[in-house]
Amino acid sequence: MSVALGMTRPPLVRTIPVHDPEDLVARLPQAPPYAWIHQGDGLVAWGEAARATVPPGAGRFDWARRWLARVFAGTRVEDDVLVPGSGPVAFGSFTFDPASAGSVLVVPRIVLGRRDGRAWLTTVGDPPIDLMAPPESPGGVLYADGSRTAPEWEHAVARAVGEIRSGRLEKVVLARDLVATTERDIDVRLLLDRLARAYPECYTFSCDGLVGATPELLVRHTGQAIESLVLAGTTARGATPAEDKERGQALFDSPKNRHEHVCAVASVRDALAPLCAELTVPDEPELLTLPNVQHLASRVHGRLSDGASVLDVVAAMHPTAAVGGTPTAVALDVIRRLEGMDRGRYAGPVGWIDARGDGEWGIALRSAEITGPTARLFAGCGIMRDSDPAAELAEAQAKFRVMRQALEG
């Protein structure tokens, strides 16, 4: 763990209003970027004032909360904007499996924010002057199987179906990985630009090499108010508007997908209920249409009963049945046995938190782990008792498309 690198006195954190930067991604210098962007609003950040490698284990969110409290308490703050995301902010991403290493928290040196026509700039200490070189293309992309070939993964899905039919569990989400290699190192800013343009309704994120555009908002925390967008149940887009509509209706009417969705919504409701004075869960899902797929979606709203921070809420929710399964413990056991890989931070919580405890966290889906000229892409699907392995494979391919297009341009 390192705190306030190179600073001997408590650093001054200053937030000032600035002119609308319009395109947040275009303001990122040549430095590892942090980002959370939705419909053009959000936060982009760079530099490192403090960083923590969060130790694995059941108490990791607690550890993170204590570390953040110490770091935020060790700053002097002059905040002329006072909105969620102003003042000191930390970005974070956690591994899917609590036993896996790799969870990280970073307090960037510079944060540029934009929401509802307002924009602000936060600096920690005296930040260095940054190089504004534009990103370059990584060149051609070659793909290789990750831990499982396509037929091996279909076999794993068939085995999961067998375990579900034996009555051990109702639902499990199985994922696979693909390894992409590019000619030159990947500039994450280029991926962010492409993702934010192609998927404005998703949350385009970047945190310490984990990059993606997730449609699934785990939780947004604004004062006492929280909201979550629960997704589960997926179909492809149609080739024509009529076919698109037909597919959407079939998804809505499909007992398999509705059951899959009910599992995910129940896990969110059960996790949030003990924290909330009010909680509204819709009776029926709606359709969320994205450029690559259509999902069943439920918007959940609540009011917290006490001063829980966004990270406390994340700790209570993860892993939801949208990425784990039902019941959770059995699903995690099946995932560990059948996937044949460590998910790393894929399907884990990713987002930001400020010193008031406000923040936005998504589930890190439609994402890749970037290291130099390599990207490890992930995609998964909810498996139910009547799942067809070939159909699940096709669904995973459609989900890979988000990061493939971001890499290929």
Ligand X SMILES: C=C(O[C@@H]1C=C(C(=O)O)C=C[C@H]1O)C(=O)O
- Does residue 146 belong to the site contacting ligand X (CB under 6 A)? no
CA–CA distances in Å: residue 106 to residues 47, 232, 358:
9, 30, 16
Residue of 89, 119, 322, 334 that binds ligand X (CB under 6 A): 322
Is 45 a binding residue for ligand X by CB under 6 A? The answer is no
Question: Could you tell me if 127 and 13 are in contact, meaning their C-beta atoms sit under 8 angstroms apart?
Answer: no
Give the x/- contact pattern for ligand X in 360-399, rule: CB under 6 A: -----xx------------xxxx----------------x
Taking CB under 6 A as the criterion, the residue among 173, 207, 364, 407 binding ligand X is 173
Check 171, 339, 360, 392 and give the catalytic one: 171
- Counting contacts by CB under 6 A, is residue 311 touching ligand X? no
Helix axis angle, 310-317 to 255-272, nearest 10°: 130
| Active site (annotated) includes residue 286 | no
Q: What minimum distance in Å lies between the beta carbon of 363 and ligand X?
A: 7
Bridge-based pairing state of the strands 118-124 and 110-115: antiparallel
Interface residue with ligand X, options 24, 323, 350, 375 (CB under 6 A): 323
Residue 233 lies near ligand X (rule: CB under 6 A): yes
SS3 of residue 361 by DSSP: strand
Judged by DSSP in three states, 34 sits in strand
The residue whose two tokens read 């990985």 is 177
Quickly list DSSP for 369-391: EEETTEEEEEEEEEE-TT--HHH
Q: How far is the CB of 384 from ligand X (least distance, A)?
A: 9
259 binds ligand X (CB under 6 A): no
Instruction: Please state, in angstroms and as integers, the Cα–Cα distance from residue 400 to each residue in 176, 213, 271, 323, 407, following that order.
Output: 10, 11, 29, 16, 11
Q: Does 348 help bind ligand X (rule: CB under 6 A)? A: no
Binding of residue 298 to ligand X (CB under 6 A) = no
Task: Determine, following the binding rule CB under 6 A, whether residue 290 of this chain makes contact with ligand X.
Answer: no
364: Cβ contacts below 8 Å, ≥ 6 apart: 93, 205, 210, 212, 214, 345, 346, 347, 348, 349, 350
In this complex, which beta carbon is closest to ligand X, that of residue 111 or of residue 297?
A: 297
Which one of residues 45, 231, 300, 304 is an interface residue with ligand X (CB under 6 A)? 231
The correct pick among 15, 75, 123, 234 for binding ligand X (CB under 6 A) is 234
Buried b (16+ CB within 10 A) or exposed e, 282-308: eeebebbbbebbbbbbbebbbebeeeb
Q: Is 300 in the site for ligand X (CB under 6 A)?
A: no
Q: Does 235 bind ligand X (CB under 6 A)?
A: no
**171 catalytic, yes or no?**
yes
Kindly state the smallest distance separating residue 123's Cβ from ligand X, in Å.
Answer: 36
Token output for 14: 């200053």
Active-site residue list: 171, 216
Interface residues with ligand X (CB under 6 A) are: 173, 175, 216, 231-234, 295, 322-323, 365-366, 379-382, 399
